[in-house]
Amino acid sequence: AAAGDGWAAVCEKFRTARTLSAVESRKDPETEPYRSKYSARALLQEVKQQLSAAEEGGEARLLAVRRAVLEYELGVNHTDTEELSAGEEHLQRCTQLLEPHRLSPDCVSLYIQAQNNLGILWSERDEIKTAQTYLESAEALYNQYMKEDGNPPLDPSEHFMAEEEKLTDQERSKRFEKAYTHTLYYLAQVYQHLEMIEKAAQYCHTTLKRQLEYCGYYPVEWALNAATLSQYYLSKQCFMEARHCLAAASVIFSQAGQVPSAEDNEAEQDQQYLCQRKAEIARFWIKYCLNLLQSARKLLEDNIGELDPDRQLELKAQRKKEEDEKEKGRKKAVLFGTSDICDSVLAMEEKVSSVYPLDFQEAREIFLVGQNYVQEAKEFFQVDGYVSDHIEIVQDHSALFKVLAFFEEDYERRCKMHKRRIDMLEPIYADLNPQYYLLISRQLQFELANTFYEMMDLKVAIGNRLEELDSHTIKKINSLAQLAIKYYELFLDSLRNPDKVFPEELGEDVLRPAMVAKFHIARLYGKLITSDHKKQLENMQTSLEYYTFLVDYCEKYPYAVRAIETELELSKEMVGLLPARMERLRAKMYPFI
Amino acid sequence: QVALRIRPMSAAELAEGARHIAHCVDHQVMVLQDPMEDSSDVLRASHSRQKSYLFDVVFDSTATQETVYHATTQSLVAVVTSGCNATVFTYGPTGCGKTYTMLGTDGELGICARTLAELFQTIEDSSSDVEYEVSLSYLEIYNEMIRDLLSPSLGCLQLWEDASGHVQVVGLTTVPATSANEVMQLLARGNRQRMQEPTAANCTSSRSHAMLQVTVRQSHRGRDLRHGCLCMIDLAGSERAAQTQNRGQRMKEGAHINRSLLALGNCIKALSQPASSKYINYRDSKLTRLLKDSLRGNSHTVMIAHISPASTAFEESRSTLAYAQRAKSIRATVE
């Protein structure tokens, strides 16, 4: 047969098969889902026959490669139609044919793709470790090829193309890199299934990076993925990497911009979609700021939860030393971005620190960044329509204030920060239907109570510095204490069953908070200031009852002790001391009895 | 209330040589045998590896649609007409009979048709003073996207949550209905719009949840008396993808590699699990949020779990049974 025409026909057949498989198959009906693929298979088999019939000879190598392409296509075809054994056979034959030449430009891409598919195939059989070996082998081959040769290799489809149709070097490189990106992506999944999380994260990161450089990407999706990856880094306290992900996410997201669309309705929906995604990225930033501040606090706090100045000095000195090392580390890190976005990403990064804040000034800067993102997120996640999200954002805002207060030395200013928390949490709590939002309701009750409790403690501390407590301060202290008691009681009430009975035994998730609530109420009654002895006696009685509850509960359920050791010890002490104090007070009140 | 339905062995299972391992002991207890057990092993025979499960009611493969209906959903009609809410779920792996129980076939109607027939009958039989208005909506949740099956051209719909706890789907079509036939026709039309994918296990299986909501409003001489809502939900197949071999763009679960880079997000999300409260908790799925309304308040819930009796489905059956048991021990916080 005339070589020229015959060959063109063969190529045509091959291309038709590929189109059937990739394009037509999507239109296959449900009852015959693989119709196009079977047709494609028939064509591929025909081509294979025609190749076998061809002469061996000088062009043995070329023939072998062409056969390998066929085996590859058939392998993928069988895998797609759930015939794994046949698929494996073809793919293995493909790699066998290519084996002696696998590092050469005409074979390497095909070989890697075959291995990618063998990896996928074995994962279908739930043999993830076998999948791993194929994929890692593909990875190694890519690296070896790039080191030893590095020129853009032939794309497998070119073996069935006419000379004039062959691809440019640029296109070849693009396709080759895409194949390798998939290798890395599949490996990320494998490592994740094998619970090698650190490696999985690394490969996810690299995949993201390569999407920007080689693969094409959807800006919004890419941004969300990068932002989500930051969460992983936060969990490992890798703030520099987390910040980099978030900065890149913000920069790439801004590429999305307005989506032009014919219909107004669609454009509106698209705008909605963009606004929501932007708000979601803002929420990831909030978590970043919050985590950074909270981790810093953990390092700086002493055993009563206050900022330890010695630790502070220590860490500041340590930081100075590490600054140089960090720069070196920076350069080694996997950075996103082609040169054009690199600068934008850097600019974003410079807006917020990635090292632990060690004093109020530094903490405040991070706090302000977080607060800005809170406002941004709330723009979309409004109360009306997105209650749960809105509340979570406000809770984060409150947490930002709480952690900032830790860094603030002045008690009055600290009080003001806690007041801001009350002001943002109380209105939401008031509007919430506790029946439907039980969990959130409890969280808010407890947080409000704790905040009032802290404020009261601060006012007492401030008052203690003065010579005498004036009536205004006393009123303030009492009012704060009463509010704290109110919310702790609301929280405890929420634990009652429908018949309003308090549970005999508390569930694991509510045990500690319930006990802490009881303990704090006891203490608060002890802190109430009154000149009325009768009232004072009543308060002490109430206080005693609550301390006793704790002691009794732990006796009845010894496993509970571990949850509230410190509080229990103090409660036992008070249970011992209070009765005597009450006696003395009674004696003072009724001296002649 | 949690019920269990065991379907008959299928031809495919018999062809594979599977043994029958799910047995009803009585109308509330069933036993699942571990197929690995060697019955000739005398030492092992005394601790036979079979676990027994207690449900409110158990149906074996001989139970008819009528029986199942009477024991599970029939009582819900009165609940709804008295102004309360009721929810029915069918749960279980693909191919174990969820859709059969819910919709049934033309010859053997499922609980859906029967409940609706009873509902309309009750309405007809009631006094002429009271007027009833019945409306329904039918939606599907697939891959966290909500689609209105009665108006699929609307595309993906959003949820709206307000402070009182009410969750609704924005723009969902509600259609008034006056007879059971009408509803079933609407359902049939809606079902044709569902996302169906061919799977190796069952050609008509689905990886989406379908939710039918029937609202009954009663008014007496123009004044609104009460309204009740019945939700009937056919949950997506609970099986692991391993047995159904889904491929291509369909998201795979389990230890399978997803070809498409579009699934990179899933891989990244999985890195931070288990998410502690320090990090973003992926919001409740759309299904959970929609159901918040029907699971709280004064609501009656019936879950009908489905399993296959075959030894080849042992793992799936075991996990379905464990899940159903857990559901049984959860008491809805009704106040």
Report the alpha-carbon angle A441-A447-A449, nearest 5.
Answer: 100
State mean pLDDT over A511-528: 94
Q: Choose the weakest-confidence range: A174-188, A253-267, B47-61.
A: A253-267
In a domain, B200, yes or no: no
* 132-191 of A, contacting B, C-beta below 8 A: 181-182, 185-186, 188-190
In a domain, A156, yes or no: yes
| Per-residue pLDDT band at A51 (split at 50, 70, 90) | confident
Which residue in A383, A394, A403, A381 sits closest to A422, CA to CA?
A394
Write out the H or E segment, with its range, that includes residue B307.
strand B299-307
B159/A18: higher pLDDT: A18
| Per-residue pLDDT band at B328 (split at 50, 70, 90) | low
- Predicted local distance difference test score (pLDDT) of residue B216: 86
DSSP string, B145-188: EEEESSSGGG-EE-EEE-TTS-EEETT---EE--SHHHHHHHHH
| Per-residue pLDDT band at A593 (split at 50, 70, 90) | low
Question: B137 is in which domain, residue-wise?
Answer: 2-36+45-193+208-271+280-329
Specify the number of domains making up chain A: 2
A21-41 pLDDT per residue, tens: 888 888 887 777 788 889 899
Question: A572 is in which domain, residue-wise?
Answer: 503-592
Query: Are B18 and B306 a contacting pair, CB within 8 Å?
Result: no
- Predicted local distance difference test score (pLDDT) of residue B178: 84
Distance (Å) of CA A515 to CA A2, A261, A413, A543, A575: 91, 58, 30, 14, 15
Q: Which of A210, A243, A276 is the last residue of a domain?
A: A243
In a domain, A39, yes or no: yes
Instruction: Say if residue A343's pLDDT is above 50.
Output: yes
Whether the upstream peptide bond of residue B274 has omega within 30° of 0, thus cis, is yes
A272-302 pLDDT per residue, tens: 889 999 999 999 999 999 999 999 999 999 8
Helix, strand, or coil here: B18?
Answer: coil
In a domain, A162, yes or no: yes
- Predicted local distance difference test score (pLDDT) of residue B245: 39
Instruction: Say if residue A328's pLDDT is above 90.
Output: no
State the nearest Cα–Cα gap between B237 and chain A, in angstroms.
18
A396-430 pLDDT per residue, tens: 999 999 999 999 999 999 999 999 999 999 999 99
Question: What pairs with residue B51 in β-bridges?
Answer: B32
User: Is residue B283 within 8 angstroms of chain A, CB to CB?
Assistant: yes
Which residue in B296, B291, B83 sits closest to B167, CA to CA?
B291
Tally C-beta pairs within 8 A across A and B: 126
* Euclidean distance between CA atoms A364 and A368, whole angstroms: 6
Distance (Å) of CA B206 to CA A533, B200, B259, B307: 73, 12, 21, 16
Residue of A nearest to B165 (CA): A436
User: Is residue A437 within 8 angstroms of chain B, CB to CB?
Assistant: yes
| Per-residue pLDDT band at A125 (split at 50, 70, 90) | confident
Contacts for A482-487 with beta carbons within 8 Å, 24 or more apart? A482/A528, A483/A448, A483/A452, A484/A449, A484/A450, A484/A452, A484/A453, A484/A456, A484/A520, A484/A524, A485/A449, A485/A521, A485/A524, A485/A525, A486/A449, A487/A445, A487/A446, A487/A448, A487/A449, A487/A452
In a domain, A217, yes or no: yes
- Predicted local distance difference test score (pLDDT) of residue A271: 83
- Predicted local distance difference test score (pLDDT) of residue B334: 29
| Per-residue pLDDT band at A265 (split at 50, 70, 90) | low
State the nearest Cα–Cα gap between A498 and chain B, in angstroms.
5
- The contacts of residue A208 (CB under 8 Å, 6+ apart) are A222, A225, A226, A229, A336, B264
Substitution target from B145, B267, B294, B331 for chain A, most A beta carbons within 10 A: B267
* 234-253 of A, contacting B, C-beta below 8 A: 234-235
Tokens 């689609």 appear where? Answer: B147
State mean pLDDT over A220-228: 94
Interchain proximity B163–A431, CB inside 8 Å? yes
- The contacts of residue A458 (CB under 8 Å, 6+ apart) are A411, A414, A415, A418
- Predicted local distance difference test score (pLDDT) of residue B246: 38
Among B165-169, B233-237, B253-257, top mean pLDDT goes to B233-237
In a domain, B96, yes or no: yes
Q: Choose the weakest-confidence range: A193-207, A475-489, B293-307.
A: B293-307
A230/B44: higher pLDDT: A230
- Predicted local distance difference test score (pLDDT) of residue B242: 37
Q: Which of A220, A243, A266 is the last residue of a domain?
A: A243
Interchain proximity B271–A385, CB inside 8 Å? no
Q: Which of A243, A261, A277 is the last residue of a domain?
A: A243
Interchain proximity A234–B279, CB inside 8 Å? yes
Strands, E, within A395-452: which ranges?
A: none
State the nearest Cα–Cα gap between A341 and chain B, in angstroms.
22
> What CA dihedral angle connects A508, A509, A515 and A520, to 10 degrees?
170
In a domain, A312, yes or no: no
Instruction: Say if residue A9's pLDDT is above 90.
Output: no
Instruction: Say if residue B139's pLDDT is above 70.
Output: yes
* Facing A128 at nearest CB: one of B255, B269, B333: B255
Instruction: Say if residue B200's pLDDT is above 50.
Output: no
Specify the number of domains making up chain B: 1
Query: Are A373 and A283 a contacting pair, CB within 8 Å?
Result: yes
Instruction: Say if residue A323's pLDDT is above 80.
Output: no
**CATH (domain of A79):** 1.25.40.10
In a domain, B334, yes or no: no
Query: Are B71 and B64 a contacting pair, CB within 8 Å?
Result: no
Q: What is the mean pLDDT of chain A?
A: 89
- Predicted local distance difference test score (pLDDT) of residue A341: 84
ipTM of the prediction greater than 0.85, yes or no: no
- The contacts of residue B278 (CB under 8 Å, 6+ apart) are A234, A235, A287, A291, A294
In a domain, A360, yes or no: no
C-alpha A571: how far from chain center: 40
**CATH (domain of B75):** 3.40.850.10
* Euclidean distance between CA atoms A456 and A468, whole angstroms: 17
In a domain, A145, yes or no: yes
In a domain, B203, yes or no: no
| B chain contacts of residue A123, beta-carbon cutoff 8 Å | 255-257
User: Is residue A384 within 8 angstroms of chain B, CB to CB?
Assistant: yes
In a domain, A108, yes or no: yes
Write out the two tokens for A358.
């060690």
- Predicted local distance difference test score (pLDDT) of residue A156: 92
| Per-residue pLDDT band at A513 (split at 50, 70, 90) | very high
In a domain, B199, yes or no: no
In a domain, B219, yes or no: yes
Instruction: Say if residue B255's pLDDT is above 70.
Output: no
